[in-house]
């Protein structure tokens, strides 16, 4: 039992590490690819389409070689999930374009309470006081270190609302679909990735044209840009797989809370690699966020221990009650001939 717990803990840490490293890596690669100082590839939706196309190819090869088994999931559920996931991606792109960076960060922070409320509505899930407190600390910490100017307009606000709701619903759906159909994270991803890739590769160029005013067909591709696109796609496979792994193992709330560790890593690496400014306010926010994450981990563990103590206690109480009733029944009720005959037969 102890060895199983240890192995599970190592797997959990591995999944989180893969997600953090791949997510931070893809942000750094995309920064070089998309910035004006880099290769000025300003086609985010099309690039995401490339990501899912490569992920779908990896899933196809994996199924063909027998590395992973394909389980049945109704096509309408896969299409519905893919639409929600692509709405999340497009909504985030539009939100970043129409809103200030400050409001964009606030909308991302609002995902934690939105996920909590949606899980409460959809799955009747309740949270302890300690978990709620830790979530507030994390939100404050990340808010302090990332939110700067806050400007908003009606279009931007609507896009941010769509992005937050669709992203929250997508992350909750990953876990619920895995449990509902007893399907692994990679198997689910390999089924949804081709549908997402198809939608994004068809509609992505039009979305990018609306966002940037440039056509991807007019972009002059260099060997450096191709190299970074391939790097971005490779990291996206690990990022997508690890996201499904993490949400399948934990919950959408845990993924959001501990996922803000990536924000801390991005700010730190931006300062180390790209000479980004790191102020006292940033450092204080990062410290508060990390403290909040530690409190959250402690609160979740406390909740698990509390549930573990409650369940055996309830079981023992019920067993004792059954024994008492059985004893009273034997002492007070004479056995019938039919019952004896059935017992002997």
- Per-residue confidence of the chain (345 residues) as pLDDT tens digits? 556 666 666 777 787 788 888 887 887 888 888 888 888 898 988 999 999 999 999 988 888 887 766 678 899 999 999 999 999 888 887 887 777 666 777 777 777 778 888 888 877 777 777 777 877 777 777 677 666 666 667 888 888 889 889 988 988 888 888 888 888 878 888 899 999 999 999 999 998 888 888 899 899 889 999 999 999 999 999 988 888 877 767 666 666 666 666 667 766 766 676 666 667 777 777 777 777 777 777 776 677 677 666 655 444 444 444 444 444 554 444 434 333 333 334
d(CA 22, CA 56): 18
pLDDT at 330: 45
DSSP string, 115-131: HHHHHHHHH-----HHH
pLDDT digits (tens, 9 = 90+) for 88-110: 888 887 887 777 666 777 777 77
Instruction: Give me the phi and psi of 330, to 5 degrees please.
Output: -65, -40
* CA distance between the termini of the chain: 41
- Alpha carbon distance 25, 236 (integer Å): 9
Residues 297, 257: Cα–Cα separation, whole Å: 10
Give the span between the Cα atoms of 284 and 38, in whole angstroms.
Answer: 31
Helices (H), 35-149: 44-64, 75-98, 101-109, 111-123, 129-146
Name, in order, each residue with C-beta under 8 angstroms of 249's C-beta and a sequence gap of 6 or more.
11, 12, 15
Q: For residues 85 and 72, give the distance between their C-alpha atoms in angstroms, rounded to a whole number.
A: 20
Q: Which helix (H) or strand (E) holds 172?
A: helix 154-181
CA distances from 27 to 15, 112, 171, 228 (A): 18, 21, 20, 11
Neighbours of 280 (CB within 10 A): 7
Q: How many residues does the chain have?
A: 345
Give alpha helix (H) positions in 182-279. Answer: 185-212, 223-249, 252-259, 261-273
CA distance 7 to 14: 10
Contact 302, 276 (CB under 8 A): no
Residue 259: CB partners within 8 Å, gap ≥ 6?
19, 23
* 281 token code pair: 């306010």
The count of other CB atoms within 10 Å of the CB of residue 257 is 28
pLDDT in the model for residue 338 = 37
If you compute the radius of gyration of the chain from its CA atoms, what whole number of angstroms results?
Answer: 25
Residue 35, pLDDT score: 80
């Amino acid at each position: 039992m102890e060895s199983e717990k240890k192995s599970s803990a190592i797997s959990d840490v591995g999944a989180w590490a893969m997600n953090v490293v791949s997510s931070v890596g893809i942000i750094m690669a995309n920064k070089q690819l998309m910035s004006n100082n880099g290769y000025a590839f300003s086609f985010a939706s099309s690039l995401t389409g490339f990501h899912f196309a490569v992920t779908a190819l990896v899933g196809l090869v994996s199924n063909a070689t027998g590395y992973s088994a394909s389980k049945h999931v109704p096509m309408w559920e896969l299409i519905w999930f893919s639409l929600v996931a692509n709405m999340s991606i497009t909504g985030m792109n539009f939100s970043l374009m129409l809103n200030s960076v400050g409001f964009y960060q606030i909308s991302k922070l609002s995902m934690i309470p939105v996920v909590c409320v949606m899980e409460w509505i959809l799955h009747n899930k309740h949270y302890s006081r300690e978990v709620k407190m830790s979530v507030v600390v994390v939100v404050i910490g990340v808010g302090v270190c990332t939110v700067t100017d806050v400007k908003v307009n009606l279009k931007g606000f609507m896009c941010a609302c769509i992005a937050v709701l669709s992203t929250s619903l997508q992350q909750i759906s990953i876990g619920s679909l895995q449990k509902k159909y007893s399907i692994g994270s990679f198997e689910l991803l390999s089924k949804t990735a081709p549908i997402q890739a198809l939608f994004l590769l068809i509609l992505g160029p039009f979305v990018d044209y609306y966002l940037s005013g440039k056509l991807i067909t007019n972009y002059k591709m260099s060997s450096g840009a191709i190299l970074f696109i391939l790097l971005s796609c490779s990291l996206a496979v690990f990022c997508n797989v690890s996201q499904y792994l993490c949400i399948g193992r934990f919950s959408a709330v845990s993924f959001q809370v501990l996922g803000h560790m990536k924000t801390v890593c991005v700010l730190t690496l931006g300062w180390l690699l790209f000479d980004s400014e790191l102020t006292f306010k940033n450092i204080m926010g990062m410290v508060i966020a990390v403290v909040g994450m530690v409190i959250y981990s402690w609160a979740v563990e406390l909740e698990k221990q509390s549930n573990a103590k409650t369940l055996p206690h309830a079981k023992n109480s019920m067993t004792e009650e059954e024994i008492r009733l059985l004893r009273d029944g034997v002492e007070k009720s004479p056995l019938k001939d039919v019952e004896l005959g059935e017992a002997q037969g």
